[in-house]
Structure 1
Amino acid sequence: MNNFARHIAALDDSDRLLIAVSGGKDSMALLHLLSQQTIHVEVAHANFGLRGEESDGDEEFVKRSCKSLGVTCHIKRFDLQRDFPELGTQEAARNARYQWFRELLTERELTYITTAHHEGDQVESILQHFIRGAGPEGMVGMQALEGDLFRPLIHTPRASLLEYIDEQQIKFREDSTNATPHYTRNRVRHQLLPLLREFNPNFDETISRQSDLFLEGTQAIETCVDMDLKRWWNASEKSLNLDAISESLTPKHLILHLLSIHGFRPTHVEEVLKLADSQPGAKVEFDEKSIYRERDALVFRSDTTVQDQWVIQRLEDFDQSPLEAEIFNPAEVDLNQPHQAVFDADLLSYPLVLRPWKAGDRFQPLGMKGSQKLSDFLVQQKVAPGSKSGVLVLTSNDLICWVVPHRIDEKFKVRADTKKVLRIRALETL
């Protein structure tokens, strides 16, 4: 468990952890490990009621376990069909619990959502990304410390975790759905991974090590792309100087980035590179978007009229945007409702501007100590490259206060002394 100890040692003494505990082997092992540390910990258990009495049994088990360890336990029951009718069960459950976890971070003044993801989970996740054709970001996998998420077991082999459970005689609950082949992750775990381990008994360790190398490579590529954009990209004209193709260290990644932020599919990279070698006047068309080869640049254009931004001078102007907003007293608004963002109204300054996100944008995600590049945040939220261009941000005094509909900025959150709450909802057109 050396890697676990190393990740714990990296925390500050003032950090306070919220442990996501399902009652299964991994999360119960994590609970026992962290309860022996000097750091403050609390537990969150989400009951989705998907397995009837079995789900209720998990809830009672987690309650009893926390009581015996003297750990504060938070329980919440969800109705996914009511709150997330448009989403599949797995996606809805993930969105619901992480939204609740982040609310607890704020309410309880906690630092990190702490999960029991281990090396085996990392391998399964990377394999799923590879199967779906993910780029370098997908091969990076999960990091021990990522925004407001802390995964102290991410470099711990599952075998070591099971050995610890046996040695400490830790009790746990079995989730019957872990064996069903209905979910892709289970098929990867029970069918694909055993076969790969026959070829390489150290396959998990190999993939984990390669993931760390991909992280370094991805960070280097992002740095190169940022430098290229500053040198060759004209944002007002949406044009890329052709010198970028020959002089960039990472021309394909540069084109991939531009395709992503303008709503093109990432599979069009080779066609764009061929266009750069064509005669001026040539163009390629994808759906309702086009890229033109001009004398010394590639120009990205949309053949449909899309409003670039909405300027909201006062509360009533929200009616002219894809957002709706209302003012409430703090006691009148339910902070736990899905599909909404709530702000301390006095911390916002008009005019507010709703605009597409752009390269270089930064904000401080709710519950996080420092700021983060928005591009990194969208990767962590697993926003598909083709969908990134559709992400809008709401700004106040040029500061991002909401990445719609994902996360608000820590600086604008509702506090104990908040006098007026501004609740904003994104309409279905977003």
Structure 2
Amino acid sequence: MSGYRFSLTPTLICLGLLAACGPNPSQRPFTPGALEPLRLMDAAAAAGYIAGEMQTDIPASIRPRLPFNTLPYNDSLLNVLRDKYDLRGVIAGAQDEWQAQLMLNHWVHTRITNGTPTSEPQNALEILDLAAQGKQFWCSYYAITYTQCALALGWQARKLGLDRYHPEEEGKGSRHHGATEVWSNRFRKWIYIDPQSDLHFEKDGVPLSAWEIRGEWLKDKGLGVEHVVGVPPDTLRKNPAVVWWDLKAEDETSLFFWLFYTDEFSTWEKDSPSKFLFPQDSANAGLTWYQGGAGGKSRLHTGYLNDLFLKTDRLEDVYWTVGVTEAALAGTAKGRLSLSLDSYCPDLDYYEVNLDGQGWKRVEDPANVIWPLNKGASSLALRTINRAGGAGPETTARMLLK
């Protein structure tokens, strides 16, 4: 299982090259199916036009295959959390979604004091209340808080467990850590967030997921990874940046060798309703994850002991997409196309369409979206809108017709 990447740039296509690969579009029947350049060319021909140059930006859409729980935007806990701690005010002034997500990261970092817990709160609301009284918490409580606050703001997020590879010491070498990932509509992927350290990681200016950071460590010990603390424009690049990192001879990106992914809160009990998604590849297949136990002794990771690990060698089972509009060309008529829309989008409210750059309008019937065609340039843009008002990644197509 290797790294994953979604295209962030549009595709510019000369349709003469596509036509050379098969029958002339005027001779080829239109077949309904997923929106893609060749089918769009056939649909335009069926509607009475010849398509010349075409530009498309159709994000990859991956649906979760394994069970995964997420709190809905209108969950009672999230409603109270959002209002009591004025989470919208926390991100007020953000220039875009990504800056807002980093502002939330910084806020959680400053609201909680790092230390050994002396209480057992069950959710972000209780953690923040106790933190305001001076109670201390370690990494997983920061992660729970960020994850639930992100959900309260309409961003999908999940908790992670991570650890370095330490075979010679088994559990004694463990640096088990808790953090989170948040879905970015701007970057069309999951991004690793560490609120305990106010930290994220980048390469070439692009923020990374936990799995991408792992890949960088496996490749060259993370030499090309930037460790970024804070919120732009006031960020600091430093290494190490994890507040408790104590291995001077080892880069902190080694912490990403072992990874599991779970929901906004997990009990670690055998009867937990949430399994831990546990990706496997050639680097960790056949290996065993240990933790440090009582009295400095080594023990198997709790994920094994409580039957919580759900192993998968299919990366898409862990890195699904959120809010991507899945558009299908459903039919044609003279001068127009019809499309149907679908999406994996928790808290989906509605879809929007922008025809020929005339502005976004609400889609009244996702099963029958009409795209009127015109000679010259014809363009289409689609996106999801969730209950928080957040817009998903855009699906776009533009054709020059004659």
TM-score (norm 2): 0.23
Bigger relative contact order, structure 1 or 2 (CA pairs below 8 A, ≥6 apart)? 2
Q: Which has the higher helix share?
A: 1
TM-score (norm 1): 0.22
